[in-house]
Chain A
């Protein structure tokens, strides 16, 4: 499925949700990301592709990986990066988000990366900004986290190549997870053979039957014969305390340990978007084990974010 030679003409205006991306677009993003990986292996990890562009990280919610990898991605492309620290900004003085965005545009921002605890905010901002200004959703509420969904599928492609052969299981809190939603969207578009979601009934979204996934409430059944296991973080901050009994109870029922890993195919990959709650959703032995590609996800995430930003500045077709 990898294109031999591409004249890469895909132009992305905003990346709000992976539902907006065709299979062809996703493959173009992947092929572009592929060529950026090599830059991360150089002594001087920098190329001048986005020199003179300004990227603004606007994070209204905590993040380590996403914000840092967006920043590294922008810097490797020689763009200038502004990180707005929300608690110390004028937001705490009551300035509206739109006013803040308008001011940052006046200061010359070309691309906004926005994370917000409320679903739909990045889309509202994308509708608000004028032509030539781009918005990337860095995760909104429990709605979507498109670059994470893309980098997870990209990681799978690095090891497994053809999606039409793959049975993939997503394990954990599907209901509150924007990552799960973006993963399901990308993997469906790429034509995965089977997508399974595994988790307690109480952590399944109500509309789960509308998605093309098979639901399992028992991890032992769900992991049988899968090629890829995508673990999710238990999101304590998004839950009422009564949805799951306790961390130890959750680990007992749904935690990925060595014994459960054996149920999947022999070379099954283990992914986790981070941050890991060791001993809650995944055992350290598995997270640090041979089948884990968790740290490579982080590495590939930089290349995916470089690709998305480059395609926003790309020639219009």
Chain B
């Protein structure tokens, strides 16, 4: 599968995001891919913003189907999100279930004014009426292929693997 280099897509996201930022904006990544993107965006964005991570694992709907998946980094939101404009960042948008879980979790921290979703890749397979506000690229990929953004020796790459 030919995917563009992650940095190219992150740049597209960056260019779109700077037109959206105001002083009430906070960027929240979904680990681990969204966390990696956040770290890249931090280097590019000059305005002081609040950054956080949200891992919806405890809010998922598939504990008995998929089991609990723990990530190295869990939720950390160390600022008040009430009345803020939240931009959620993830590497790949697929079914929308991760985003549903993340949005539910956000509302346990307060009532934001607005939530947007920026992703690098949109797989357009939503099972819920949820879709990204912005995606750097849209792709058609067979269902059994899993795509994720990883960092290897300081290089960002897309990892693609077949799911059993």
Contact = CB atoms under 8 A, between A and B. Distances in A.
A8 interface: yes
A58 to B, nearest CB: 24
A11 B57 CA distance: 17
B70 A35 contact: yes
Interface in B50-90: 57-59, 63-72, 74-76
Contact of B66 (A6, A39, A44, A315): A315
A44 B109 contact: yes
B72 A38 contact: no
- The A contact surface, by secondary structure, is loop
A4 interface: yes
B108 interface: yes
Given A38-B75, A43-B109, A8 B67 contact: yes
B133 interface: no
A32 B63 contact: no
Contacts of A4: 72
Contacts of A32: 68, 70
B67 A9 contact: yes
B58 A8 contact: no
A183 interface: no
A38 B109 CA distance: 13
A25 B11 CA distance: 43
A5 interface: yes
Interface in A36-86: 38-39, 42-44, 46-50
B109 A310 contact: no
Q: How large is the interface on A (under 10, 10 to 19, 20 to 34, 35 or more residues)?
A: 20 to 34
B113 to A, nearest CB: 19
Contacts of B59: 47-49
A157 B49 CA distance: 36
Nearest to A76: B58
A9 B69 CA distance: 8
B125 interface: no
- The B contact surface, by secondary structure, is mixed
Nearest to A45: B108
Contacts of B64: 313-315
B74 A315 contact: no
Contacts of A311: 68
A313 B61 CA distance: 12
A317 B65 CA distance: 10
Interface string B1-33: 000000000000000000000000000000010
A314 B64 CA distance: 5
B39 interface: no
A173 interface: no
Interface in B139-160: none
B63 A315 contact: yes
Given A43-B109, A48-B104, A6 B63 contact: no
B58 A49 contact: yes
Interface in A268-317: 310-311, 313-315, 317
- Among the interface residues A11, A31, A42, which one has the most CB atoms of the partner chain B within 10 A? A42
A88 interface: no
A46 B108 contact: yes
A46 B107 CA distance: 12
Would you list the 9 A-B pairs with minimal beta carbon distance, nearest first? A315-B67, A47-B58, A44-B108, A314-B67, A49-B58, A8-B68, A35-B70, A35-B74, A9-B67
Interface of B: 32, 57-59, 63-72, 74-76, 104-105, 108-109
Given A5-B71, A5-B72, 6 more contacts: A4-B72, A7-B67, A9-B67, A38-B74, A42-B109, A310-B68
21 contacts: A4-B72, A5-B70, A7-B67, A8-B68, A11-B67, A32-B70, A35-B70, A38-B74, A38-B75, A39-B58, A42-B108, A47-B58, A47-B59, A48-B59, A311-B68, A313-B63, A314-B67, A315-B63, A315-B64, A315-B67, A317-B67
